[in-house]
Amino acid sequence: MKQKTVWMLAGGLAGAVALMAWAFAPRPPEVEVATVAAGRFEATIEEDARTRLRDRYLVSAPLAGQLARITLRDGDPVAAGAVLATLQPVLPGLLDERTLAEQRARVDAALAQVQRATARVAATRASAEQAAADLRRTEQLAREGFVSPTRLDTERLALQVAQKEQDAAVADRRAAEQGVVQARAALAAVQAGPAGARAFPVRAPIEGRVLRVLQASEGTVATGTPLVELGDTRRLEVVAELLTTDALRAAPGSPVRIERWGGPGTLEGRVRLVEPAAFTKVSALGVEEQRVEVLIDITSPAERWAALGDGYRVGVQVLVEAADGVLKVPAAALFPVPGGAAGAMAVFVVREGRAVQQPVQLGGRHGADAWVREGLRAGEQVVIYPGAAVRDGVRVKLRPAA
């Protein structure tokens, strides 16, 4: 064999070996990265919820009698003191004394309701004055730079909630006073006896809308028969059934975003009360869960949600933690430290073309973001969704942006 042929074969073999070595040589894995940046971190609890009237008023027949047909329909507006139904008293002689005692007891009960409502008005007025005083102090501290703007917003919303509570208490007192008028009128009708019997009007205790007409047809009704259910749709609340573990973080006063309510944008709200008693509910997967009702006041202007009604479905986001100007990374960049302590987390930071495992201390984690207290600096790049090929010290190749 000629020497030239030998050299050509040797060169071809060497080229083939080099090509095979290049083909099977390990390549740096391609990774997707995100930049560590400072911003606002928010942790929220998301849940479906429903609207509910804060107060319902069931108007009953204050005395036995012949009921005239009720012409009201569901959804009709009514004014406070408007006639809902008309009764023609029927007072059998054998029942006069008992009926008289019952009507006197109704008057006493109505007066007690007025006293209770008056006490609530005084309590809510004191709460509103306290909230106003707290706001004034917080505004002074904010001007001096001692409190954050978030605290100032919280105090302002707390004052709004306290004022709405006072308005609700005043409305309840008016309804109780209407109940006294009605009870006294019924007592007067009983005292007049059959000779003085006349048409007795049943009046609305509040201004609102008719929710249901329970006894529309004409007929004889007994004392206490439910006739009409009323409610003020301008006084709605939102009820969310949260897991008890989440409800512990949704403290009264927590801000709430109300979304998916059918209108443009989101509504603002605030947690008013976390019910003290939980209940068991079976999830769609057949798992028993302990849940508790959380009551939320809508703080956005009433004109924005005037179309909302009782029992409408909405979505809520309860803000349980917030911080401004903190370092954030995608939650997809985090992974548990192999062999580390329970809860220890780390990320892969890209430095000089290599993935470096970096332990981090978290301040919070929610949804797609995590708040990093220690371990990273703004501007660093971290690997998101690191695969099995990404290890500490391995050379990586940045995946081009799509």
Ramachandran region of residue 128, left (φ > 0), alpha (ψ -120 to 50) or beta?
A: alpha
Instruction: Give the whole-angstrom CA distance, residue 158 versus residue 153.
Output: 9
Nearest to residue 119, comparing CAs of 163, 72, 166, 66? 166
Which pLDDT score is estimated for 270? 92
- Supply the DSSP symbol for 297: E
pLDDT at 23 over 80: no
- 383 has a pLDDT exceeding 70: yes
Predicted pLDDT at 279 = 92
pLDDT of residue 94: 44
pLDDT in tens, 176-194: 887 777 777 777 766 665 5
User: Residue 297: what pLDDT?
Assistant: 92
Q: What is the pLDDT of residues 199-234, one digit of tens each?
A: 788 888 888 889 899 988 888 888 888 999 998 888
pLDDT at 402: 46
Q: Does residue 308 carry a pLDDT above 60?
A: yes
339: left (phi over 0), alpha (psi -120 to 50) or beta: left
Query: Around Cβ 336, how many Cβ atoms within 10 Å?
Result: 12
The pLDDT tens digits for 315-357 are 999 998 888 888 889 888 898 887 777 778 899 998 888 888 8
Q: Are 17 and 24 in contact (CB under 8 A)?
A: no
User: Sign of dihedral through CA atoms 386, 388, 389, 393?
Assistant: positive
Helix spans in 43-95 (H): none
Predicted local distance difference test score (pLDDT) of residue 47: 92
Mean pLDDT lowest for which of 88-92, 124-128, 380-384?
Answer: 88-92
**Using 50, 70 and 90 to split pLDDT, how confident is the model at 151?**
confident
- Average the pLDDT over 152-157 and give the result: 78
Specify whether the CB–CB gap between 344 and 386 falls below 8 A: no
Helix (H/G/I), strand (E/B), else coil: 373: strand
Domains present along the chain, CATH in parentheses: 30-40+324-398 (2.40.420.20), 44-52+234-323 (2.40.30.170), 59-87+199-233 (2.40.50.100), 91-196 (1.10.287.620)
H helix or E strand, kind and range, residue 354: strand 354-366
Pair of tokens at residue 262: 């059918």
d(CA 155, CA 91): 57
DSSP state, residue 93:
G
* Residue 141: band (very low, low, confident or very high) from pLDDT cuts 50, 70, 90: confident
The mean per-residue pLDDT over the stretch 74-83 comes to 89
Q: Is the pLDDT of residue 11 over 90?
A: no
**CA separation (Å) from 118 to 84, 113, 358?**
26, 8, 62
Q: What does the pLDDT average to over 77-82?
A: 89
How many angstroms separate the CA atoms of 307 and 277, rounded? 32
pLDDT at 296: 94
Question: What local confidence, expressed as pLDDT, does residue 15 receive?
Answer: 63
The answer to whether 328 and 63 are in contact (CB under 8 A) is: no
Helices in 25-143 by DSSP H: which ranges? 96-143
Q: Cα separation of 16 and 9, whole Å?
A: 10
In the block, residue with structure tokens 């695969």: 387
Three-state secondary structure readout of 260-292: CCCCCCCEEEEEEEECCCCEEEECCCCCEEEEE
**Over the stretch 232-241, which tens digit does the pLDDT of each residue have?**
888 899 999 9
At 65 the pLDDT is 83
Residue type present at position 319: L
Is the pLDDT reported for residue 260 higher than 80?
A: yes
Q: In the prediction, which pLDDT does 29 show?
A: 78
